[in-house]
């Protein structure tokens, strides 16, 4: 079973860097990302049409980087199946209460710490035999739990959510948060900044990590200065599109 070095780094107060994958579900994408020096890759099930079979393939072909899966909701069957398929962490969108957070954490932990169902000798433990107690302890200690704060109730309850044992990262979903605040796309709006600051203060108080999707290097640096320590640098669609657009514009300008 693999150690989750991303969770270990975050527990030590270090920063980790990765990216999102929404489109390029290939057998090479996880290896490409790992070879690029990323710490983690977030495979998205919330906004794609991928199945668990796709996630299983992606997790199996990811190397040198921690595979995390964003599930559509915090329901047990999404969380447990993603983990059994080989994900080393899960991200759950639109978490609004401490009770939700407790149920999500419980779905990622074997008894007595939680209620994750038993399946061994499968993808998540590399199809290996071994002592079941050891496997359960290892999984409980190495599964990363990332919860997204994306609504006003989530912000209002952020302190209680951050205090739930087993929560590793609170991640601001800036687009959804602004949409639900009634200010879509207005990332300089005082109301959005006030909500973001409440999340930042909660992660600092409870000594957990904050996560964010950085749109550029400059944006990522500003997030680090604010106290965020889990930074996703863009996603496959936008990184490819931006690089292609930049190259094509440079070539056209030479004509």
Catalytic residue from among 47, 77, 142, 193: 47
Q: DSSP of the chain, one letter per residue?
A: ----HHHHHHHTT--EEEEEESS---TTHHHHHHHTT-SEEEEESSSS---HHHHHHHHHT--SSEEEEE-SSS-HHHHHHHHHTT-SEEEES---SHHHHHHHHHHTS-TTT--PPP--SSGGGTT----HHHHHHHHHHH-EEEEEE-SHHHHHTHHHHHTSTT--EEEE-HHHHHHHHT-TT-TT-HHHHHHHHHHHHHHHHTT-EEEEEESSHHHHHHHHHHT--EEEEEEHHHHHHHHHHHHHHHHHHT-
Tell me the three-class secondary structure of 48-117, residue by residue. CCCCHHHHHHHHHCCCCCEEEEECCCCCHHHHHHHHHCCCCEEEECCCCCHHHHHHHHHHCCCCCCCCCC
Q: Is 219 a catalytic residue?
A: no
Residues acting as catalytic residues: 47
């Amino acid at each position: 079973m693999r150690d989750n070095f991303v969770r270990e780094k975050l527990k030590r107060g270090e920063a980790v860097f990765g990216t999102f994958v929404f489109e390029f579900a290939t057998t090479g994408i996880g290896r490409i990302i790992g070879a690029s020096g990323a710490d983690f890759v977030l495979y998205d099930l919330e906004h794609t049409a991928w199945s668990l079979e796709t996630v299983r393939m992606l997790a199996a072909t990811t190397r040198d980087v921690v595979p995390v899966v964003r599930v559509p909701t915090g329901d047990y069957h999404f969380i447990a199946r993603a983990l059994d398929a080989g994900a080393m962490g899960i991200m759950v969108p639109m978490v609004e209460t401490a009770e939700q957070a407790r149920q999500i954490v419980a779905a990622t932990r074997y008894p007595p710490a939680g209620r994750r169902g038993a399946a061994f000798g499968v993808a998540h433990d590399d199809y290996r035999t071994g002592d079941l107690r050891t496997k359960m302890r290892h999984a409980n200690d190495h599964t990363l739990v990332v919860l997204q704060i994306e609504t006003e109730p989530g912000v209002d309850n952020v302190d209680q959510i951050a205090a739930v044992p087993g929560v590793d990262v609170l991640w601001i979903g800036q687009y959804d948060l602004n949409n639900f605040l009634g200010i879509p796309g207005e990332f300089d709006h005082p109301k959005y900044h006030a909500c973001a600051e409440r999340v930042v203060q909660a992660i600092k108080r409870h000594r957990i990590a904050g996560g964010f999707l950085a749109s550029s290097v400059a944006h990522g640096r500003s997030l680090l200065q604010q106290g965020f320590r889990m930074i996703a640098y863009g996603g496959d669609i936008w990184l490819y599109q931006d690089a292609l657009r930049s190259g094509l514009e440079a070539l056209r300008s030479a004509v």
